[in-house]
Each structure stands twice: as structure tokens, then as C-alpha cells.
Structure 1
Amino acid sequence: MISRYRTIGTTALVLASLTAVFAQTRANGVASGHREILLQTTQSWNCKPYTHYPTGQPQLTTIKLTIAPHAALPWHTHPFPNVVYVLSGTLTLHDKASGKTQVVRQGQAVGESVDDVHRGESGDGPTVLLITYAGTPGVPTSVPAAGEKSEY
């Protein structure tokens, strides 16, 4: 019987301690976050390895890009690595030289190719992308292929 009271007492002490910890966390607003890795890669979606970052001062650029339904962006390249996260819709990536394609859906991320001519195409609804570029000041994030208009 004493063992049972000890177990109940220990459980009550643990619960009281946890309650105090949660109360303290709420009181000062400090808490650990939940991490979910969306993409960690050393190569682009079309299997081309990332070989280097640009030299000079780093500049991160994040854009939100909305593409109308059933629309294809102009052919273009990127001079440095970037990550695309699909907020809504679908994006079909096309590599011009190899003909490779990859479909990226809402909630998925993909590393884009560097110096390879490619484009994205939306699906049945609008496609909304969050794109983060790891570049340098003064260097454009997207470069139109010969004869093409700007991607954005």
C-alpha cells in the first residue's frame, strides 16, 4: 500500500512540475518551435549538382509569385541556387535541353536548376509560389533565355 501512495505522490509531483513549466513557458512566451525540413539538397530537381555560391556579399531574396491557371512562364535561367515552395496549386517544371519534367504540388519544395534553361507551368488553378534566392546584390534572380520575355 505504501508503494501505491509513493507512486501517486510521485505522479502528483511530476504533474505539478510540468504544470509549473508550462505556466512559466506561457508567462514569458519562450518555447521551442517544431522544425520540419521542407528541402535539403545538394542538387536541383533535374539532378544537376550545385557546385558553388556566387562570390561577394550574400543577398537573400524571397518573392511570392502567382501564376494564372494553365499558363507557362517564359524560358529562363537562374545564376545561383534557389528554392521554390508551392503554397497552392501545382507547378510542372520543364528542362529545355533534356526534356525532363517534374510536378511539384502544394506543400512541396524543390531546388531549381542553375544556368539551365527551364520554365514552370501551372495546373488547373492558380499556382502560388514562395521562392528564395541565395544571390548577391546587383545580380538578377532570373535571366530570360534568348528571345524570351522576363519571367516576372
Structure 2
Amino acid sequence: MSKFAFAVFTTACLAITPALAQKPHTTSSAHADVLVKSSTSWNGKPYTTYPAGQPQLTMLRMSIPANTALPWHTHPFPNSVYVLQGQLTIEDKASGKKQVFHAGEGFTESVDDVHRGVSGSTPTVLIITYSGTPGAATFKAEPGQKPEY
């Protein structure tokens, strides 16, 4: 390549480089859908307090096989759940109350009430966010029951 051809090529590259550069981002607001917002759990029991101490949020993706009942358990602090796939029936042990939540729905779990989740005929996937403290377990299995996860 001659010096002249190289100079033309280089000039052309420099001229088109700004055109290929990424455009600056525009500033705009996003859209947000509130999936769940509540001061009570799914069964109507009010939340009263958060645990004392340094806050720690924990988010889990929980996969439950089809036709599976989780062990009976409690939670020591509030948490919220989003059903990503499948469905989940929450059962309250003391009252026998049940409620079904489907893919795309969110709900809040109970604190200190013995309950369990039961999946439907397809696998269930949940996103769960716990509002706890460092070192605190997110659940407590009932005596004689396996851990929830």
C-alpha cells in the first residue's frame, strides 16, 4: 500500500469512527409494577416488628419439584415471595387455611405461624426475599420435620 493510499485509508477511518461510537444514554424513568406490598402476611396476620440489629436481606431462588409438600416450618421475620413458575399452595397448620398463588403473583409469608408450601402438577420456582439479620436462619423446621431447604 502506498503512503498516499495509507493516508486516505487512515483519514477515512478517523472520519467514520465518531459515527460508529455509541450514542450517549438518554435519561428517562423506568416503569415499575408493585408485585406485593403489605403490612400483613398472606393469612392476614399483621407484621409487628423487624428483628433488632444490623439488617441483612437474603434473596433465594427456590425450586420445588411437582407434587411436593415442603416440611412444616416457621419464619422468624417477614419475607415476600414471587412465583416465577408453576403454582404454590400455602397451608396454615393451626387454622387449616389454604391459598393458591400462581406464576406472576407475589405474596407475603407469615411470621411465627407454622405453615408449608405445596407445589402443583408442574415444578414451582419461587423468588423469596427475607428481611433478617446476619447469622439468623430464614426458617425454623418444626420438630421431626426436615429443613425447608
TM category, shorter: 0.7 to 0.9
Structure 2 letter corresponding to 1:117? V
Taking the aligned partners of 1:31 and 1:144, their CA distance within structure 2 comes to 46
1:95 aligns with 2:88: no
2:52 is equivalent to residue 46 of structure 1: no
Deviation at 1:29, TM superposition (A): 4.5
How many residues align structurally? 127
Structure 1: gaps (5+ residues): 1-25
- Bigger Cα displacement from structure 2, 135-144 vs 29-38: 29-38
RMSD: 0.9
Query: Which region of structure 1 is more displaced relative to structure 2, 110-119 or 30-39?
Result: 30-39
1:129 aligns with 2:147: no
Pick one of 65, 69, 72 that aligns with 1:72.
69
Between structures 1 and 2, the one with greater helix share:
1
1:108 to 99, 105, 109: 105
Aligned with residue 120 of structure 1, among 96, 113, 117: 117
Match of 1:21 in 2: none
Q: Percent identity?
A: 57
1:31 corresponds in structure 2 to 28
SS in 1 for 2:118: strand
* TM-superposition CA deviations, 1:38-82 (whole Å, max 9, x none): 111010011110000000000000000000000000000000000
Q: SS of the counterpart of 2:81?
A: strand
Task: For 2:93 and 2:73, locate their aligned partners in 1 and report how far apart those are by CA, in whole Å.
Answer: 10
How far off its partner does 1:27 sit? 2.6
Structure of greater Rg: 2
Q: Which amino acid aligns with 1:108?
A: E
The separation in 2 between residues aligned to 1:31 and 1:131, in whole angstroms, is: 29
| TM-score in terms of structure 1 length | 0.82
Structure 1 ranges of 4+ moved more than 4 A? none
Question: Structure 2: which 5+ runs fail to align?
Answer: 1-22
Q: Which residue matches 1:18?
A: none
Q: What is the aligned partner in structure 1 of residue 140 from structure 2?
A: 143
How far apart in 2 are the matches of 1:28 and 1:75?
A: 50
CA distance in structure 1 between the partners assigned to 2:26 and 2:53 by the alignment: 38
